[in-house]
Structure 1
Amino acid sequence: MAYALDKLRLETLIGPVARATEVLVRLDERIARSPIRDGLVERQHFADAASALWLEGELVHLEDLVLHDAHMD
């Protein structure tokens, strides 16, 4: 998918980007003190791995990555 970046105005994007940044910073702070932090981070690592494989043209289910990591495949 190609984006027409030359037609996007910077002023249009600044507000949403600033709000998204603020929300992510708050989420990061909440997760840092949460008892579910380790599980959430581990889950995100699997999601990142699946996304990286998808970008390379591979379709891998998240569950398959979890089983492979546990040597159950």
Structure 2
Amino acid sequence: MTRDRVEQEHWDSPAFLRVNHLSSAARASAFGVLVPTLPHAGSVGALAAAAWFTGWYPAQRRRMPPHG
């Protein structure tokens, strides 16, 4: 999904990989909460948080200066 939004020359950059790993971890964490709480409200909150983080973090990362 992330590669659809970023030009191919950035796919191997450390910044892209970090954003991709953190976004994947956020989604995995949401599903980790989702499974034991079905069909409770916690699952909806976890998915909403993961969706928000997936959009928010890349935008924050673009505003940061590049790392070493």
Task: Please report the TM-score for the alignment, with normalisation by the length of structure 2.
Answer: 0.40
Which structure ranks higher in relative contact order (CA pairs < 8 Å, sequence separation ≥ 6)? 2
Task: Please report the TM-score for the alignment, with normalisation by the length of structure 1.
Answer: 0.37
